Structure 1
Amino acid sequence: MLTTALSVLMEGEGMAEEPISDRLRDRIRRDFPDPDAAKGIEGALWKLAVELEDSLQSPERLLTAAVVIADGDVDRFRSAVRLARTDWRDLLMAGGRGHEDWPSVLDEELRPR
C-alpha cells in the first residue's frame, strides 16, 4: 500500500518508473527484517531518488549504494542519505559503485541469498 501511494505521489514529480527494483526491495527486506524499518527505508529511498534525479545516474545504482553502506543499520543509512545529498559521487564511491565495474558489483550485491 505504501509503495502504491508513493507511486502515485512520484508520478506528479516526473519520475518515469519506480526507482526501487524488485531485487533492491529484496535486499532491503533482507538487511532490514523489521517490516516498519523496511518501509521507512523504502520511503526514504523514494525521496532520495527524486532528489538525485538530476544526476542522470541509475537510481538502482545510487540507492543500492546507500543500502550497502547501511549494512542493516538505520543510523548508517541516515548517514549514507546525508552523504548522497552532499555529493552523490561520494555516495557511489563509499558504496563501491563508483568504478566502471559497477554493473557487476551491483549484480553481486543484489543477487538472491
Structure 2
Amino acid sequence: MDQHAPDPRPAQDDYDLDYRFTLANERTYLAWLRTALGLLAGAVALVHLVPQAGDEADNAERGIGFALALLGIAVTLGSMRRWQTVQRAMQRHENLPASRAPIYLGLAVVAVGIAVVVLLAR
C-alpha cells in the first residue's frame, strides 16, 4: 500500500454514529436528569410542605433538604459530563468509560434515607 495514499476510513470527527446509540445515550442522560429533578422536588417538599415541628427539627429538615438539593445539582452536572464523555468515546470508536456515579448516588440516597429515619424516630 502506498504510504502517501489517503486513508479510506473516515476521520474520527467525520464518523456518523448509528442514531440508536446516540439516542440511547440521550435517554440515559434524560433519566439522570429525571433523577436530579426528583431529588430537587424532594428538597422543596421537605423544606416547604412538611409541618413545622420546632427549631431543632426545622434545622434537621433544612439540612436534609439542603443535602437533597446539592445531590440534585451534583447529579445534573455529572450527567452532563457523562453524556459528553460517552458521546465523544463513541465518535472516536473507543471503549465506553466506566462510571461509579450509580454507586455514589446509591450511597448518597442511603445516607439521606438514614437521616430521614433518624428524624422520624425522634
TM range (shorter): 0.3 to 0.5
The answer to which structure, 1 or 2, has the higher relative contact order (CA under 8 A, 6+ apart) is 2
TM-score, structure 1 length as denominator?
0.35
TM-score by length of 2: 0.33
Return the index of the structure with the highest Cα Rg.
Answer: 2
